[in-house]
Structure 1
Amino acid sequence: MQYKQQIMSPHDIVILLKIVAYGKESWFQKPLAEALGISQSEVSKSLNRSKYAGLLDPTGKTVMKLALLEFLQFGLRYVFPQKPGPVVRGVPTSHSAPPLNEEIHSNEDYVWPYGKGTVRGHSIMPLYPTVPEAALRDEKLYELLALVDALRVGRVREREFAITALKNRFGLGE
């Protein structure tokens, strides 16, 4: 018997967040792949990994939001760690982007490196190279990705704000 281990990829999180951003709107793999700049075959493999991990329901259409939130809160920064890098031009993320930039004021900006970006700050490598472009085309996705980056690189205060905001966006608020 051959055994193949299912290992999550960083872009699996991006895909799950894009599905969450769709809300109740129905979605299909091809437009999802195009919106994220990820090949359709990679999206298909990602959906299978997420089903296997219990982050998508067995039909592959509904994100298991509580499970995803638990993974994001307790596992993400250990599985896909990131440390702020050199100052570059890019797209604001983490506490430097909405919605956290309304709650947290800092002298240091965090950005995803992006040549067409308008802000200079410490570089945070995105979960997938096409994240800056995809985020700029979809405000809901942008906020979700920025909140997730706050979980990856933020201090306790930023992570607490991010979890509360993610719960609200996932419809799991108290």
Structure 2
Amino acid sequence: MLKPQDLLVTFKILSYEIGCSSVESRSHNSRKAPWVIFEPISVYDREKDEIIVSDEPDDFEAADLALIEQFILEGESEEQRASWSYRKLAQQLFMSLSEVSQAIKRASKAGLLIKRGAKGVRVNKTVLIDYVRFGAGVSFFVERGKVVRGIPTASAASSFKDIFVSSAEFPTVWPCARGTVKGIAIAPIYKSVPKAVMIDPWLYKQLALLDIFRVGSAREKEEAMPYLAKLKGNV
């Protein structure tokens, strides 16, 4: 049986297959990089703010913050993006090596990943697209929660907010004390997603797209289909 982290690992592997950079240039820094989601809240006063924060006010450990800051400031070279390893996936997805290993095994058995001999695995994009379209919303159904501080997702994500017209008072967000938006909470596909997307904008876009098929309306899902179909062309 597939677990939600299996989809996360599959999308991250596809990110490497496509070769998207974590940041557009190694010379940029967080102040000059609008695509960076990370935002410290060292001066955040919860008692004076009307925003309700997630149940884990700040679950980013010092090592997590250091890794995120490193990627924001330095990114990865083309050579580093040319391949992935289990250890690299674990580090960038904030998962353990055993979690990544088991996720790859399950995804392979389910057909999301295809073995390619001694070279490891590659993503079966046709199966991934079909599963996101028809299965993810059932297998990983999620309900909207309370108003929280978080990272916009689904049709409210930065890649889609100008495309989908919404009359909702609040956007949909992943609860995160280091998020920048006040919105209605939904649980991400896996607990480490708010950290993982801070160093990989492509992954952020795809997981937000996934959430459209988890919580979006029928119209939103239909309008999102062209973006899902683009995965076949490595866009």
Matched, 1:42 2:99: yes
Letter in 2 for 1:88: V
Aligned residues of 1:20 and 1:170 also touching (Cα < 8 A): no
Name whichever of 21-30 and 34-43 sits farther off: 21-30
Q: Aligned equivalents of 1:170 and 1:100: distance in 2?
A: 19
Matched, 1:63 2:120: no
TM-score normalised per structure 2 = 0.68
Matched, 1:83 2:143: yes
Name whichever of 144-153 and 100-109 sits farther off: 100-109
- Structure 1 match to 2:227: 165
Matched, 1:12 2:6: yes
Q: What SS does the corresponding residue of 2:104 show, helix, strand or coil?
A: helix
Matched, 1:156 2:218: yes
User: After superposition, what is the alpha-carbon deviation per residue over 1:26-76, rounded to whole angstroms, capped at 9, x for unaligned?
Assistant: 211111110000111110111011111111112342000000110110011
Distance 1:8 1:133, change over 3 A: same
Shift of 1:105: 2.7
2:178 aligns with one of 90, 94, 116: 116
Aligned residues of 2:125 and 2:231 also touching (Cα < 8 A): no
Q: Aligned equivalents of 2:128 and 2:84: distance in 1?
A: 19
Letter in 2 for 1:55: L
Q: Aligned equivalents of 1:50 and 1:64: distance in 2?
A: 10
* Higher Cα radius of gyration: 2
Query: Taking CA–CA contacts closer than 8 Å with sequence separation of 6 or more, which of the two structures ends up with the larger relative contact order?
Result: 2
Name whichever of 22-31 and 111-120 sits farther off: 22-31
Q: Aligned equivalents of 1:135 and 1:46: distance in 2?
A: 18
Shift of 1:19: 1.1
Letter in 1 for 2:222: E
Shift of 1:172: 7.1
- Across the aligned residues of Structure 1 and Structure 2, the Cα RMSD in angstroms comes to 1.5
Structure 1 runs of 4+ aligned residues shifted over 6 Å read none
Count how many residue pairs are aligned between Structure 1 and Structure 2: 167
Which structure 1 residue ranges, 5 or more long, are not aligned? 1-6
Q: Aligned equivalents of 2:204 and 2:232: distance in 1?
A: 14
Q: Percent identical across equivalent pairs?
A: 39
Letter in 2 for 1:15: V
Matched, 1:102 2:102: no
Which structure 2 residue ranges, 5 or more long, are not aligned? 20-81
Name whichever of 91-100 and 24-33 sits farther off: 24-33
Shift of 1:122: 0.4
Q: What SS does the corresponding residue of 1:143 show, helix, strand or coil?
A: helix
